[in-house]
Amino acid sequence: MGSFGADLSEVWIVCHGHAQLAARFLARFTPLEREDRLFVAPEALSRFYLGAHNEVHRPDTPIGATWMTREDREAEIEDQVRYLDLLHADIFARVERERVKLWVLGFSQGVATVTRWLARDGVTADRVVLWAGMIPPELGVGGARALTARGPVTMVVGSSDEFATPKVVAAQQAKLSELGVAYTKIGFEGGHDISESALMELAGSRA
């Protein structure tokens, strides 16, 4: 990671979903590219071959990554929190934190990842975006308060998302309300994906 221009005004840390890779996920944010924006996409710590488990892996077999599984769950959570803490420290050793707005966005499995990280009360984001995913079940009032330290959370969901269904979204909204989390919601026509139109609306919105 090199040096950044003096005109930098926004840093986006964007965490991909299950079975994705950071480079491909990062490409989804190309419509928001500006000279004053820095996008950083950390990749989950465990990679695996996609497809049926009994298939022979060819040189072109696609690969994805996952943030965690239920196996050794607590240790994996600690690893990912420490990983994101180190990334944050590296970025803001080079960028004056109070000079920029920090966006933290999680997509799908990345929602639980960024929520667990920010809930540890060590990093404060200016904008928190929970896109088509579920907050972790263990999130309590104290951790939830850390998500809204500088403004409401933004939920983003597609109209035909096969995972973030209306029932799931309603349950998430109820949970956020129960925890006292102020939030806004952006919807778009589409499925379990990063929508360019929703990104543009998100980036143009104000907390």
Q: In CATH, what number is assigned to the domain containing residue 61?
A: 3.40.50.1820
Pairing of strands 101-107, 63-66: unpaired
207: confidence class by pLDDT, cuts 50, 70, 90: very low
As a whole number, mean pLDDT of residues 97-101 equals 96
Q: What is the pLDDT of residue 2?
A: 53
- Residue 82: pLDDT over 50: yes
- What pLDDT, on the 0 to 100 scale, is given for residue 146? 93
For residue 194, being part of any structural domain is answered with: yes
193 located within any domain: yes
Residue 111 has pLDDT above 90, yes or no: yes
In a domain, 16, yes or no: yes
35 inside domain: yes
How many independent structural domains does the chain possess?
1
Helix (H) or strand (E) holding 141: helix 141-147
Sheet holding 183-188, edge to edge: 37-40, 10-15, 101-107, 127-131, 153-158, 183-188
**Coil/strand/helix, residue 53:** coil
More confident residue, 25 or 1: 25
Q: Does 204 have pLDDT greater than 80?
A: yes
- 2 in a structural domain: no
Q: Would 3 be classed as within a structural domain?
A: no
- Domain with 106, as residue range(s), is 10-204
User: How would residue 157 be classed by pLDDT, with cut points 50, 70 and 90?
Assistant: very high
Query: To the nearest whole percent, how much of the chain has pLDDT over 70?
Result: 93
Q: Is residue 73 part of a domain?
A: yes
Compute the distance between CA of residue 30 and CA of residue 16 in angstroms, rounded to an integer: 15
Q: What is the pLDDT of residues 37-65, one digit of tens each?
A: 999 999 999 988 887 666 766 777 888 99
| Mean pLDDT calculated for residue range 4-32 | 94
